[in-house]
Amino acid sequence: MLTCASRLLARSVDIRFLYPALGSGTFYSALIETFDRRRIVKSVGYEIDSLYATAAKGLWGAFPLEIHVEDFTEGQPPQSEDDRFNLIVCNPPYVRHHHLSTSTKDRLTEAVRIRSGIKTNGLSGLYCYFLLLCHGWLSKNGIGLWLIPSEFMDVNYGRAMKEYLLDSVTLLRIHRFGARSVQFEDALVSSAIVILKKKKPTRNHVVRFTYGASLLCPERSVSVERPLLATKPKWTTLSLKGPRKAKNSPTIADFFTVKRGLATGANSFFILSEQEIQKRNLPRCFFRPILPSPRFLESDELEADAFGNPIIEKRLFLLDCGIPVADLKVRYPSLYKYLESGKPGVAKGYLCQRRKPWYAQESREPSPFLCTYMGRKDTKRGRPFRFILNHSRATATNVYLLLYPRRIVSSAMAKDPDLARKMLAVLNNLHLDDLLREGRFYGGGLHKLEPRELGRVPALGLVPLVPGFRATRADQMELFAAPAR
């Protein structure tokens, strides 16, 4: 990172260096190794943790590094341009939004609004605030380099960051590390290096996106003009190669309504085996079959018994009851007793508190097709996502995505009993790059797909299987009816 900085700052420029999250001073060590020390006229570091600050002082006490033991986000940026910094390098703390108090979020949101004019999302992680707050500390034409999670490039809360990078500064480059190149020891997240210059961008400025294990020798490089980049909702896909979806090409969403599986709020309490139900003498009428984790499904096609239960070794059932607790006490005392055991803990969970009654489940009808929600490429299949054909009446949790056929598809399936198997074969052979391009990935090689992301995956191979399907969007409006049940 410091080598990149040295290439962006003219040799005649004196270095005024800011280190907003000092830690033990790794970047400062790289600074004095990379730059002629005579050029470094000012170095300032902030560290909120007194133990790290003490260690840094011990390491760099003989060097002209000014260390502030305080929260950088509470500091006031210099008012004078001469006092600002022309080089900011930072690996900000990875603190997710739910670990920030409401008062802290409010303070950070207001500070960002004042200093950069950007309105942040409440789901933003602490690293977003760090980057945006540094706008007031960076001098005109100054360079900022940030080692941060790459998730901001795809998620909704990252819009504020992308707005800032597109409109307030000149975004020079984003380097995304490979899925297995975990840069943070304490967080399994994919990482990116963002390089920017504090200068208003030109209209057709070109941003460079690179990918690979090395920042200096990337495996891939793609240049994207700023106007085009502004239209892209997902940025991590820009360095991926492979065939791209043609305009108006049919997608998964043209054939299926995609929903996330249900979230119980406490699987260990609400999902029971047949043996557990019998042992507690619970009424079977309040239990419906639910699929186990994908790792327990050996086949991609699930057959059903005479009762509609999936024929698999690990058979599980979901407790779903909407009867008031007073009636349960009289009519179903064993179930009442079981639910009472969940009151001290389960009933106080986030999801349960928002349901009436707290033990009723959200509606997720069984779907004939499912897709695994996340996975890795280094499986026996070599693919992170797997499609499953479900002939049973089992529903599924949110480790699956549920695909409900649209009307034209369900009608075709009713006429051709073998059509579902043909569609399954196409789904399990979708181009891998198309799936990865629409999804997102995390450190350690973990890939994930949200319902809308799966819906955007090209599915041209399904077209010849569905009689009457028209490939142009103008002729497909009838496909957007509610899914058949």
Asked if residue 157 and residue 77 are part of one domain, the reply reads yes
Instruction: Supply the pLDDT for residue 349.
Output: 93
pLDDT digits 0-9 by tens, 381-422: 778 999 999 999 999 999 999 999 999 999 999 999 999 999
Asked if residue 426 and residue 311 are part of one domain, the reply reads yes
Asked if residue 146 and residue 201 are part of one domain, the reply reads yes
pLDDT digits 0-9 by tens, 144-163: 999 999 889 988 889 999 99
Q: Is residue 327 in a domain?
A: no
Asked if residue 257 and residue 222 are part of one domain, the reply reads no
- The CA-atom distances, in angstroms, between 434 and each of 107, 347, 370, 440, 459 are 41, 41, 18, 12, 10
Asked if residue 139 and residue 264 are part of one domain, the reply reads no
Q: Is residue 26 in a domain?
A: yes
Q: Is residue 238 in a domain?
A: no
Residues 6+ apart with CB under 8 A from 299: none
Q: Do residues 158 and 120 make contact, with C-beta atoms less than 8 angstroms apart? A: no
Picking from 150, 110, 154, 153, the residue whose alpha carbon sits closest to that of residue 132 is: 110
pLDDT tens per residue across all 485 residues of the chain? 999 999 999 999 999 999 999 999 999 999 999 999 999 999 999 999 999 999 999 999 999 999 999 999 999 999 999 999 999 999 999 888 888 999 999 999 999 999 888 999 999 999 999 999 999 999 999 999 999 998 899 888 899 999 999 999 999 999 998 755 444 454 446 789 999 999 999 989 999 999 888 899 888 888 999 999 998 888 887 765 444 555 578 999 999 999 999 999 999 999 999 999 999 999 999 999 999 999 999 999 999 999 999 999 999 999 999 999 999 999 999 999 999 999 999 999 999 999 999 999 998 999 999 999 988 776 677 789 999 999 999 999 999 999 999 999 999 999 999 999 999 999 999 988 888 888 877 656 778 899 999 999 999 999 999 998 875 443 344 344 444 43
Exposure string over 24-34, b if 16+ CB within 10 A, otherwise e: bbebbeebbee
Instruction: Supply the pLDDT for residue 38.
Output: 95
Asked if residue 305 and residue 170 are part of one domain, the reply reads no
Q: Is residue 217 in a domain?
A: yes
Asked if residue 261 and residue 203 are part of one domain, the reply reads no
Asked if residue 300 and residue 213 are part of one domain, the reply reads no
> Quick count: other Cβ atoms within 10 Å of Cβ 376?
16
Note down the domain range covering 469: 252-320+361-480
Asked if residue 182 and residue 58 are part of one domain, the reply reads yes
Q: Is residue 405 in a domain?
A: yes
Asked if residue 256 and residue 121 are part of one domain, the reply reads no
Q: What is the CATH number of the domain that holds 158?
A: 3.40.50.150
Question: Domain boundary residue among 203, 232, 261?
Answer: 232
Q: Is residue 332 in a domain?
A: no
Look at the chain and report how many structural domains it folds into.
2
Cross-strand partners of 372? 400
Asked if residue 196 and residue 104 are part of one domain, the reply reads yes
Residues 6+ apart with CB under 8 A from 190: 149, 150, 151, 176, 177, 179, 182, 236, 441, 442, 443
pLDDT digits 0-9 by tens, 301-331: 999 999 999 999 999 999 999 999 999 999 9
Q: What angle do CA 435, 217, 140 make, to 5 degrees?
A: 95
Structure tokens at 213: 């294990």
Distance CA 462, CA 366 (A): 22
Asked if residue 179 and residue 30 are part of one domain, the reply reads yes
